[in-house]
Amino acid sequence: MSLYSKRGVSAQKEEVHAAVKNLDTGLYEFAFCKIYPDFIQNDDAFINVMHADGAGTKSVLAYLYWKETGDISVWKGIAQDAIVMNLDDLLCTGIYNNILFSSTIDRNKLLIPGEVLKQIIDGTQEFFTTLKSFGINIYYLGGETADVGDVIRTIAVNGTMMTRWEKNKIITNEKITSGNVIVGFASYGQASYESNYNSGIGSNGLTSARHDVLNKYYGEKYPETFEPTLNDDIVYIGKHKLSDEIQTTTFQQPAFKNVKTNITISDLLLSPTRTYSPLIKVLLENYFKEINGIIHCSGGGQTKCMKYLPKPLKIIKDNLFIPPEIFQIIQHNSGADDKEMYQVFNMGHRLEIFTNETTANEMISVAAGFNIDAKIVGHVEASHKKELHLKVKDNLIKY
């Protein structure tokens, strides 16, 4: 059993998928988000989408950092995480504008004061204001903030997005087919619309990242940050403190240009999840007909694409990004093999588009204008079954 499973989490969410397997899949079975007919105005030319997601256990890292440093502004990053995990899922269906957002914050009031809530709420609105400058309009409707200390050990930050969208402007993944190439867009670096270097960690696999990177000091000082029934040998088993500095030059990543030489473990683990929305808005407006599918490599990492294949196909990713330093640190500390790492984490690109080679190269140029590294990471072949092959360090990993 993997460390991930031993800690009570699942990269593939097998039990969740089993629980919902009998639910209606909506109009398009392989769309990244569930799409329904327009129940608002009963217009056949439109569809409705409602989607929920959140920051996951990344809020525990924010809690540790805040308690250690007193820097309460860290919670604004958690607000962004909860938004982006919703927004970038919607991007995969072609939706990027005129979206309603409702937040859900559950806290243990004894540990999380109102000042933290204010940072999250203010951070939410500030992020929406930033997105508006790129023509991405999201309207904050408030939400539910509940004091549930008997349920939540510290805090959980989640949200729900809803929109009404033109049916002829959605991406359903039904066009993914043999001959497509896959463009991967880097999750790390510093996009033109980001104020700091982004490690690429996103908001998936943070339970492993936290326990595999940070040392026992945090478990001993903050027992409220982990499930008390876990065995000690899987709780905070890493070598680092949040304040430890990493020499970025040792990793030789191309996205380190114009980035400070020293970066802390907290910077890497708490990098707010990058949204691709400013870039994808441009790509959807200019290349919609050439886009056969879009996948957000979130829960399930580089294996996420398997779930959305519309028919038996073989995906071959043989030109992946070199994993940025945060994933190298996690793997070095945990001893996890490559198969588990690529199944849990995005490992360097968190969004991928299925298209033709000519369009792919044009998209790569557009991404460069946003200072986002992009490249063709793989292609699609005909097959008698759904399968995925990853080439990692000259080794072939099959799923």
Return the pLDDT at 223.
97
Q: Is the backbone of residue 236 left (phi > 0), alpha (psi -120 to 50) or beta? A: left
Q: Is 173 helix (H, G, I), strand (E, B) or coil?
A: coil
- Cα separation, 291 vs 171, in Å, equals 8
> Smallest Cα–Cα separation from 255: which of 373, 384, 87?
373
Q: What is the pLDDT of residues 20-50, one digit of tens each?
A: 666 778 999 999 999 999 999 999 999 999 9
- Cα separation, 71 vs 55, in Å, equals 19
- Cα separation, 300 vs 304, in Å, equals 5
Residue 1 reports pLDDT greater than 80? no
Higher pLDDT, 255 or 275: 275
Q: Where are the beta strands (DSSP E) in the chain?
A: 35-37, 46-54, 99-107, 138-147, 155-166, 181-186, 245-247, 262-264, 293-296, 313-317, 349-355, 374-382, 387-392, 395-398
Query: What percent of the chain has pLDDT above 90?
Result: 89
- Cα separation, 149 vs 110, in Å, equals 8
In DSSP terms, 166 is beta-bridged to 46
Q: What is the pLDDT of residues 215-274, one digit of tens each?
A: 999 999 999 999 999 999 999 999 999 999 987 644 444 544 544 557 999 999 999 999
Residue 374 reports pLDDT greater than 80? yes
> Smallest Cα–Cα separation from 161: which of 296, 272, 33?
33
Q: Is 363 helix (H, G, I), strand (E, B) or coil?
A: helix
Query: What percent of the chain has pLDDT above 70?
Result: 91
- Cα separation, 127 vs 110, in Å, equals 28
- Cα separation, 100 vs 161, in Å, equals 5
Residue 369 reports pLDDT greater than 80? yes
- Cα separation, 190 vs 325, in Å, equals 14
Return the pLDDT at 252.
44
Class for the domain spanning 3-191+271-398: alpha beta
Buried (b) or exposed (e) across 208-242, using 16+ Cβ within 10 A? bbbbbbbeeebbeebeebbeeeeeeebbbbbebbb
Return the pLDDT at 251.
44
Return the pLDDT at 19.
65
- Cα separation, 123 vs 111, in Å, equals 20
**Pair of tokens at residue 112:** 């999380």
Among 14-18, 225-229, 249-253, 302-306, the minimum mean pLDDT is found in: 249-253
Return the pLDDT at 23.
72
Q: Is 267 helix (H, G, I), strand (E, B) or coil?
A: helix
Return the pLDDT at 262.
78
Angle at 134 between CA 354 and CA 81, to 5 degrees: 70
Return the pLDDT at 14.
63
Return the pLDDT at 249.
47
Average pLDDT, the chain: 93
Query: pTM score, two decimals?
Result: 0.92
